[in-house]
Amino acid sequence: MRPKASMGDGAPMTSRVRHITLDSHDPYRQGQFWAQALGGRVSDEDFPGDPEALVLSEGAVLLFVTVPETKTLKNRVHLDLQPEDRTRDEEVARLLGLGARLVDDRRRPDGRGFAVLADPEGNEFCVEPSAAERAA
């Protein structure tokens, strides 16, 4: 076991995730989609055409940055969403209405499983059953 690093006063050195950064062709458009999906907002400092857009939400802070390349492979990291005030299927329908598309439907008849969606630029994410659905 490795010893914990410290700051000299005995307090352990730690880091925190400031935000999750995602490559994008249109950061502001991506920011708008994810702000609606997460019930958050795009930072007041970001505007259409800016090279980045910061999405502030209760569960996570997402930063979209402009890159020239297009997405070609499966994500190495993805977000798993769990609805708080609706069912998994209601959340899937809502997100599809916002512009997501269904990539893989792994929902099972017993209410378990998840749906794999893609945002407007093709980044995959999953929608899992709500806590209430898991408890039932």
The domain that contains 100 carries what CATH number? 3.10.180.10
Q: Give SS3 for 113.
A: strand
Q: What pLDDT, on a 0 to 100 scale, did the predictor assign at position 24? A: 94
Q: What pLDDT, on a 0 to 100 scale, did the predictor assign at position 111? A: 87
More confident site: 1 or 102? 102
**Residues forming beta bridges with residue 6, ordered by sequence position:** 12
Q: What pLDDT, on a 0 to 100 scale, did the predictor assign at position 1? A: 53
Same domain, yes or no, for 27 and 79? no
Please check the confidence at residue 4 and state whether its pLDDT lies above 80. Answer: no
DSSP state letter for 40: -
Same domain, yes or no, for 79 and 63? no
Whether residue 66 lies inside any domain: the answer is: yes
Q: How many CB atoms within 10 Å of residue 82?
A: 16
Q: What tokens appear for 31 in the block?
A: 């920011």
Same domain, yes or no, for 111 and 66? no
**Residues forming beta bridges with residue 16, ordered by sequence position:** none
Same domain, yes or no, for 78 and 127? yes
Same domain, yes or no, for 56 and 99? no
Please check the confidence at residue 7 and state whether its pLDDT lies above 80. Answer: no
Q: pLDDT digits over 113-128, tens only?
A: 999 999 999 999 999 9
Q: pLDDT digits over 100-116, tens only?
A: 999 999 999 888 999 99
Number of H helices, E strands in the chain: 3, 8
115 contacts 91 by C-beta, under 8 angstroms: no
Q: How many domains does the chain fold into?
A: 2
Model confidence band, residue 76 (pLDDT cutoffs 50, 70, 90): confident
Whether residue 13 lies inside any domain: the answer is: no
Whether residue 33 lies inside any domain: the answer is: yes
Q: Which domain holds residue 30?
A: 18-70
Same domain, yes or no, for 57 and 84? no
Model confidence band, residue 14 (pLDDT cutoffs 50, 70, 90): confident
Q: What is the pTM of this model?
A: 0.86
Same domain, yes or no, for 63 and 90? no
Range of weakest confidence among 10-19, 62-71, 117-126 = 10-19
- Widest CA span in the chain: 56
Q: Tell me the C-alpha to C-alpha distance, in Å, between residue 86 and each of 1, 50, 73, 94.
A: 43, 34, 31, 10
Same domain, yes or no, for 88 and 109? yes
